[in-house]
């Protein structure tokens, strides 16, 4: 029964069988063709039985190993490798159906391979998850055949795996490398000129090319007979909070990824940079009620706590309450802090409802409101005009873009720091704003 369940006759067998049937038909006209047809049919059955033996003689003809990270990165390319190993002493032809996660929508995708005796082949592909949570990689289904290719054997290799998708640790490491290893221009991180004297003296060191000549220590230079400069470090241990709005406004998607998930990735990157700078990082989430409240700290395990809390955030499909947010900040954040608020206002009316609370928060803290530009609206606004419908679409898109610009302008007029950014530039924009405020001594 197992043999019949796993046996599949190939198209080549039916093509050859059709040719044999044609020979039998022609035997009605030319009688001598009957012997040719019989020999051909016998050979076909013989080769089929031989192919059946070659295909089914080994209990475990192939093995498969799937290699992937235990934790995948949200919104990034995660490379998956599937290695197929030929355990037999004959070459095999394979059709491999990988057990892709359902979210990839690759139900009809397969790989056709040729593997020599005792050798192996690798299948590599990229998986870009758009949501946090668990993803299931299912069993691998393989159809194997010998070089005769008259039949196939179906083998299901048990490779069911569940992996978790966390906020992007890869992006976090990449931005850390760029910020702290002076490789910033390639990704748009600005080099901020330090203003004022919000720096603490650290040490006197030898001058190297690129040091600010205004920091030359002439007294030490005269003693050592070589150019010496003062080295400063920024004041540290300031409180930095990422505040994430989880209301229904944050469910809008850009390239199949919600603004909430963009914010979560950015909050992880931003918190890591703040901790590396010596500041204390914390986290607050809210919607119609207060969610996570992680006090700012710079202990060794703080980044891990932030990562785990960000992974578990879920949207509440209700309006956000900025009154509750103000009360929570007033009760839990006692010292002056930088508050990076990730939210979204779709209309000036919505912004003005929240404005009184934002102004009160900004009186005691440094509040930066991060709102999103709609990429699709920009594409509509600047599309080629071919029809009357295109004119209406472009006009409405320009009007909606103007709303967002007016929202950002009005917030700035009330003394609130504002970032209007594209989703893909979110992490860069928040880091630049943080470095700018830190260099100016605002925090």
Instruction: Return the SS3 of 234.
Output: strand
Both 179 and 152 in one domain: the answer is no
Residue 195: per-residue pLDDT: 43
Please tell me the distance from the alpha carbon of residue 44 to that of residue 16, in angstroms, as a whole number.
8
Please tell me the distance from the alpha carbon of residue 105 to that of residue 100, in angstroms, as a whole number.
8
Choosing from 208, 234, 260, the residue where a domain stops is: 234
Both 247 and 304 in one domain: the answer is yes
Both 229 and 206 in one domain: the answer is yes
Both 95 and 162 in one domain: the answer is yes
Residue 22: per-residue pLDDT: 94
**Which CATH number fits the domain that encloses residue 422?**
3.40.50.410
Could you give phi then psi for residue 62, rounded to 5 degrees?
Answer: -140, 160
Both 101 and 21 in one domain: the answer is no
Both 188 and 116 in one domain: the answer is no
Structural domain for 219, as ranges: 200-234
321's tokens: 């309450």
For the entire predicted model, the pTM comes to 0.78
Residue 368: per-residue pLDDT: 94
Both 339 and 314 in one domain: the answer is yes
Please tell me the distance from the alpha carbon of residue 325 to that of residue 290, in angstroms, as a whole number.
7
Both 282 and 325 in one domain: the answer is yes
Both 212 and 274 in one domain: the answer is no
DSSP H helices, 241-381, are 259-276, 302-311, 322-332, 348-364, 375-381
Both 123 and 110 in one domain: the answer is yes
Choosing from 120, 150, 166, the residue where a domain stops is: 166
Residue 16: per-residue pLDDT: 94
Please tell me the distance from the alpha carbon of residue 281 to that of residue 273, in angstroms, as a whole number.
9
Both 45 and 75 in one domain: the answer is no
CB-count exposure of residue 348 (10 Å: 0-12, 13-18, 19+): middle
For residues 426 and 188, the answer to whether their CB atoms sit within 8 Å is no
Spans of the chain, pLDDT less than 50: 184, 186, 193-198
Both 245 and 158 in one domain: the answer is no
Please tell me the distance from the alpha carbon of residue 304 to that of residue 87, in angstroms, as a whole number.
43
* Concatenated DSSP letters of 83-143: EEEE-SSS-EEEEEE----GGG--TT--EEEEE-TT-EEEEEEEE---S-EEEEE--EEEE
For residues 159 and 64, the answer to whether their CB atoms sit within 8 Å is yes
Number of domains in the chain: 4
**Which CATH number fits the domain that encloses residue 113?**
2.60.40.10
Long-range contacts of 1-6 (CB under 8 A, 24+ apart): 3/56, 5/154, 6/153, 6/154, 6/155
Residue 181: per-residue pLDDT: 66
Report, in this order, helix, strand and coil percent for the chain, each rounded to 5.
40, 30, 30
């Amino acid at each position: 029964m197992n043999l019949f369940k796993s046996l599949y006759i190939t198209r080549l067998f039916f093509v050859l069988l059709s040719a044999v049937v044609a020979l039998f038909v022609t035997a009605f006209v030319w009688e001598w063709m009957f012997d040719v047809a019989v020999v051909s049919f016998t050979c076909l059955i013989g080769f089929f039985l031989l192919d059946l033996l070659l295909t089914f003689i080994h209990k475990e003809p192939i093995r498969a190993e799937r290699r992937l990270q235990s934790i995948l990165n949200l919104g990034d390319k995660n490379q998956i490798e599937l290695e197929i190993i030929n355990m037999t002493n004959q070459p095999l032809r394979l059709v491999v159906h990988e057990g892709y996660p359902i979210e990839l929508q690759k139900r009809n995708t397969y790989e056709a391979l040729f593997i020599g005796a005792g050798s192996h082949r690798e299948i590599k592909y990229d998986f870009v998850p758009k949501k946090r949570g668990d993803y299931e990689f299912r069993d691998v289904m393989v159809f194997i055949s010998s070089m005769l290719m008259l039949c196939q054997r179906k083998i299901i290799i048990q490779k069911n795996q569940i992996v978790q998708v966390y906020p992007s640790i890869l992006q976090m490491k990449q931005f850390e490398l760029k910020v702290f290893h002076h490789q910033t221009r390639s990704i748009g991180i600005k080099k901020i000129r330090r203003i004022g004297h919000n720096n603490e003296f650290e040490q006197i060191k030898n001058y190297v090319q690129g040091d600010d000549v205004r920091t030359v220590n002439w007294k030490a230079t005269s003693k050592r007979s070589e150019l010496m400069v003062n080295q400063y470090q920024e004041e540290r241990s300031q409180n930095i909070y990422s505040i994430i709005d989880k209301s229904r406004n944050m469910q809008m998607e850009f390239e199949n990824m919600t603004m909430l998930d963009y914010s979560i990735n950015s909050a992880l990157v931003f918190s890591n940079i703040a901790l590396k700078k010596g500041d204390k990082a914390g986290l607050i989430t809210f919607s119609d009620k207060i969610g996570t409240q992680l006090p700012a700290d710079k202990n060794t395990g703080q980044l891990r706590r932030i990562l785990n809390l960000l992974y578990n955030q879920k949207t509440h499909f209700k309006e956000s309450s900025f009154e509750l947010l103000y009360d929570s900040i007033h009760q839990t954040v006692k010292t002056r802090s930088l508050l990076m608020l990730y939210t979204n206002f779709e209309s000036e009316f919505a912004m003005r409802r929240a404005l009184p609370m934002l102004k009160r928060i900004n009186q005691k803290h440094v509040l930066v409101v991060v709102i999103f530009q709609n990429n699709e609206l920009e594409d509509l606004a600047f599309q080629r005009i071919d029809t009357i419908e295109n004119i209406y679409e472009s006009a409405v898109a320009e009007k909606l873009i103007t709303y967002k610009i007016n929202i950002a302008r009005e917030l700035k007029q009330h003394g609130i720091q504002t970032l209007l950014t594209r989703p893909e530039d979110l992490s860069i924009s928040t880091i630049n704003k943080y470095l700018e405020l830190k260099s100016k001594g605002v925090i």
